[in-house]
């Protein structure tokens, strides 16, 4: 069911062929370079620098992207309503995260190759050189940090607003 809802949301988010307002800028999605050939050693180095700059490499190295499964309510920790916990939240998280990291270690290279392959497919070597140069610059680092902070702060500061939007939308469906 959630897959169906996600698919519908993705389809609905696709921009029309032109803006309703003729003066509005046209939003386009850049076409991937679609490079299938194995990357050169120089391009592979750029790919790895790119992954490091955006913070993905650290997640791949540590398996930290799996944390959501180890959190209370995640797939690794299903607690029945009214059940008594036999461990602290911290102990439970650490135990589950350790199990996830152990299991992940066997698949670590597959994840690395999947990311490297996609970045190779997505960008030309020249594009990656420009992107990495920007991301590794002080302005690029500020951009990455600022974008993360913006999403975190705005997301927190608009929780009530989003809840109100959902309430209003639900109310309109019952009319």
pLDDT of residue 67: 93
Three-state secondary-structure class, residue 3? helix
Residues 96, 69 contacting (CB under 8 angstroms): yes
pLDDT of residue 63: 96
Query: Is the full-model pTM beyond 0.75?
Result: no
CA atoms in the 13 A half-sphere facing the CB of 67:
6
Calculate the average pLDDT of the chain: 86
CA atoms in the 13 A half-sphere facing the CB of 53:
23
- Over residues 4-56, the pLDDT tens digits come to 444 444 444 444 444 556 676 677 888 999 999 999 999 999 999 999 999 99
Whole-angstrom distance, CA of residue 37 vs CA of residue 35 = 6
pLDDT of residue 24: 65
Residues 33, 124 contacting (CB under 8 angstroms): yes
What is the distance, to the nearest Å, from the Cα of residue 81 to the centroid of all Cα atoms in its chain?
30
Q: Please, which pLDDT band fits residue 123 given cuts at 50, 70 and 90?
A: very high
Decide which of 114 and 15 is more confident.
Answer: 114
Whole-angstrom distance, CA of residue 72 vs CA of residue 162 = 24
Residue range 54-74: mean pLDDT, rounded? 93
Whole-angstrom distance, CA of residue 131 vs CA of residue 49 = 10
On the question of pLDDT at 61 being above 80, the answer is yes
């Amino acid at each position: 069911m959630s897959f169906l809802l996600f698919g519908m949301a993705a389809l609905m988010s696709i921009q029309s062929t032109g803006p309703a307002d003729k003066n509005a800028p046209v939003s386009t999605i850049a076409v991937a370079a679609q490079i299938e050939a194995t990357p050169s050693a120089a391009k592979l180095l750029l790919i790895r620098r790119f992954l490091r700059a955006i913070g993905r490499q650290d997640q791949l190295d540590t398996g930290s992207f799996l944390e959501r499964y180890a959190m209370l309510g995640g797939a690794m920790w299903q607690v029945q309503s009214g059940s008594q916990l036999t461990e602290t939240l911290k102990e439970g998280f650490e135990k589950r995260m350790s199990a996830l990291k152990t299991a992940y270690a066997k698949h670590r290279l597959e994840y690395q190759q999947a990311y490297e392959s996609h970045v190779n497919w997505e960008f030309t070597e020249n594009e990656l050189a420009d992107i990495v140069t920007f991301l590794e610059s002080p302005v690029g680092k500020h951009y990455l940090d600022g974008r993360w902070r913006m999403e975190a702060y705005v997301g927190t500061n608009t929780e009530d607003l989003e809840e109100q939007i959902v309430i209003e939308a639900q109310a309109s469906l019952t009319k």
